[in-house]
Structure 1
Amino acid sequence: MVTVVGYAYPWDVCGAPEFLSDLHRLGVTRVALAAYYHGVRAATPRHPLHRFVTATRSALYTRTDPGVWHMSPLVPPPPGPWSHAGAFEEAAGLLTAAGFTVSAWLAPTHADGLPESHPLRVQTAFGDRLDYALCPTAPEVQDYAARLAHQSMLSGASGLVLECVGSLGFDHASLHDKVGGADWSTSIRALLSICFCAACCEQYHTEGIAPTELSQLLRIAVDTPTGAAEEVVPADVMSLVWKVRNRSAVMLGTAAVAAASRAPDFTAALHASTELSTTGAGTSAIIPGVDTYIAPCWNDHPELPHTAAAVTQREAIAQVHRLRQRIPKEARVASYVTVVGQHAPTTGGLVRDWGAILEAGADELHLYHAGLASTERLANTAHALAQLRTR
């Protein structure tokens, strides 16, 4: 039996009764509903009231319990005119009444709209700050994640889906990005993602690393023609940097899960990676209380021609294999798949690709994203999932 978790925004559900029928046709049993989410322009091609929603910044879509946020140095803003506080509760109530279980989808370190001088933002070796990224090493950010999780449990969720638990890096689809001409390789972008906020510098000291010397080495590495850290920074030093980053993600994730785990029938899923140097949605951290680790398996990369899909499909299968080897034996592996990439999926293509992922050992498919998909894409997805269930 194929277990399908569907991802949704509150506005996908509110005012759109047919969306519930769409989820049933897909065979979704659990919905990862955005409770705290970053800015987005989201298509709503089948909503009866609008065709897109523009959320200009991060927002908390639950109501705000004063007791949860008392004395917190970070307080999530409510949504602007694109939604309303309490939209999560409204959507969760509709989903629960329709027979779905609801997990709160949280991206705690992804915070659009932070002031330029905010001290908890990720800071590069050059002193540049990432205005969309809270650093998970900061105790205040770990506390923030715990409060977000607690608030979500008070608002009708029975579980968590955690994204952006680790550090967000340089790569980020924001504004009108004009960085392509710099010709920065993947290695250079990784170096530009290493944080030097006060909390990270303190942790580097703990590991015997001098932050000033490290930042100087990274600046040199970024400006070398190859951008290869191993040519400038000793491998053992980089290992300690990844150790600090991984430990920070563990602490933040543990705080979030602990704050929510008292809910009945609680489940926790984590967007994961097998690369210690990873930034963004996934993390290499193994977090107590997480029962499902989600492998990134989007196989429709906008920068690849359609004929290269088989290459990315092989990588998706490899991700599932590698993740299975890293996580606790009792944990489940989920595959994060998309139907809203550049290329409209066919039923046959989805059956082939997702079937291979399931055969590779994935226990669940996490489906992104029914509310964003056209009628044709959704129909092809439903047909594909129906065929996979007969295998």
Structure 2
Amino acid sequence: MRASAFLYPWDVTGDPEAAGRTAALGVRQVTLASAYHSTRALTPRHPAHRVVTAEHAAVLYPPEPGRWEGRDLRPYPAGAWAPAGDDPFGRAAEALADAGLEVHSWVVLAHNSRLGAEHPDVCVVNAYGDRYPWAPCIARPAVRAYLAGLAAEAAVRPGAAGTELESCGWYGFAHLHAHDKVGGVGLGDAAQYLMSLCFCPDCRAGYAEEGLDPGELAALVRRALEPVWAAGGSGAAGWPEVEKLLGAGPAAATLAWRTRVARAVQEEAVGAVRAAAPPGFRVLLHADPAPYRSGANAGVDPRHVLGVADGVVLPCTGGAAAREAVLRPFAPHRGEGAVLAANLTVVSGMGGDPGGLAADAAHAASLGATELRLYHAGLASDADLRVVAEQLAALD
């Protein structure tokens, strides 16, 4: 199976050994961030630093002024962690290519706290009226135009042979925000769905198109969540649990609206990339087969998304049951050449199991996976990387 390792440009730039070390793992490809959200990341082997603090979502290349002229929503250049006017993606991509690795860009779309802080009117607004600054609402026309432009620019970078689009869909309540203090009431994905429903003007109009009164729907959501707050949480998961909380009719109507918007955003983003890319440029989406889910792995309809993109990258860490849940829905719809990439965490300190990589990969392949993604070669310890290299060699 073709394997790709995730990296940030700062893992490579300034470290003359990084590209060769990555190639020595046995991977053929690197998925290299070109547009990324704020983060604090370890760099365990870098000769110049051990921690990189990316203070806000940014593009890791010089954005094209002409593309964004006259637009309120535009990408932010990076700060000192990736100097403005420089091209850390381009420099890292060149070093990786020199080591014999194929580079694909990694683009984070609908996840940007600075954008939401500076433009609060574009944020998801929950049923209580709270805004989520990290989650631009993809139903807003300005957001959709911004996402399509960002997808095209950040994906089609010099040196990239393809791209992977993350957060290409709805983002919601779940977010590891700075110093999160939301664990006092545990929410399963059914309650998460209710807390992720947006009530901005565009979404209110969308619910009305689906036959719902948006004010009554917001009140219904609040009533449905009251027992969850009172009980200290709910681990209920799955769409039937959403229907129990909200009622089958209202639940179906909200999902119809959100699915319609998400499909349009995915089609527009992929279309924008294809229009800017040379022939053969591959476009994958980080995805979840449950359309009601939101987040980095946006909920999709498997049949639809495999008719739009060249494939998907699926979260496959968490055991055999987790892999089956995400891979099986896609397998019947995979046409010739479509990619089902199993994303496996190989950082033991982040809950990964590098020692189980070969077995996990074999199980994923039996479920239809065609490629592997290894999260994350820049964050892993030396010990983890040695095990990854052994496991990939065993797969050969």
Q: TM over 0.5, yes or no?
A: yes
- Maintained 8 Å contact 1:12/1:19: yes
- Name the residue aligned to 1:54: 53
Alpha-carbon spacing, 1:115–1:48, altered in 2? closer, same or farther (3 Å): same
* 2:97 paired with 1:78: no
The answer to whether 1:181 aligns with 2:197 is no
Give the 3 Å change call, closer, same or farther, for CA 251–343 of structure 1 in structure 2.
closer
Cα offset, 1:149, TM superposition? 2.2
Is the 1:166–1:246 contact (alpha carbons within 8 Å) kept by the matching residues of 2?
Answer: no
CA distance in 2 between counterparts of 1:156 and 1:63 reads 15
Confirm whether residue 256 of structure 1 aligns to residue 269 of structure 2.
yes
Instruction: Name the CA shift for 1:347/1:172 in 2 (closer, same or farther; >3 Å).
Output: closer
Using the alignment, how far apart are the partners of 2:352 and 2:273 within structure 1?
36
Q: 2:387 aligns with which of 364, 380, 384?
A: 380
Aligned letter for 2:102? T
Q: How does 1:233-382 map to 2 (within 5 A)?
A: 233-261=246-274, 262-282=277-297, 283-285=299-301, 286-287=304-305, 288-299=307-318, 312-326=319-333, 331-342=338-349, 348-382=355-389
CA RMSD of aligned residues (A): 2.1
Report deviation, 1:189. 2.1
Show structure 1 runs of 4+ deviating over 4 A.
Answer: 225-229, 326-330, 343-348
User: What CA deviation, in whole Å up to 9, does each residue of 1:276-329 have, x standing for no partner?
Assistant: 210111221433541111221122xxxxxxxxxxxx332213321222235556
The reply on whether 1:101 has 2:102 as its aligned counterpart is yes
After TM superposition, the score normalised by the length of structure 1 is: 0.90
Q: How many residues align?
A: 376
Task: In structure 1, give the amino acid aligned to 2:374.
Answer: L
Instruction: Indicate the percent of aligned positions where both proteins have the same amino acid.
Output: 36
SS in 2 for 1:133: strand
1:39/1:56 contact within 8 Å kept = yes
Q: Distance in 1 between matches of 2:209 and 2:348?
A: 43
User: Is contact 2:163–2:284 with CA below 8 Å preserved after alignment?
Assistant: yes
**If the length of structure 2 is used for normalisation, what is the TM-score?**
0.89
Displacement of 1:259:
1.6
Distance 1:194 1:95, change over 3 A: same
Letter in 1 for 2:388: T
Structure 1 residues 219 and 251, CA gap change in structure 2 (3 angstroms): same
Q: 1:255 to 1:185 in 2, by over 3 A?
A: closer
Distance in 1 (CA, whole Å) between partners of 2:94 and 2:226 is 53
- Give 2:237's aligned residue: none
Partner of 1:158: 161
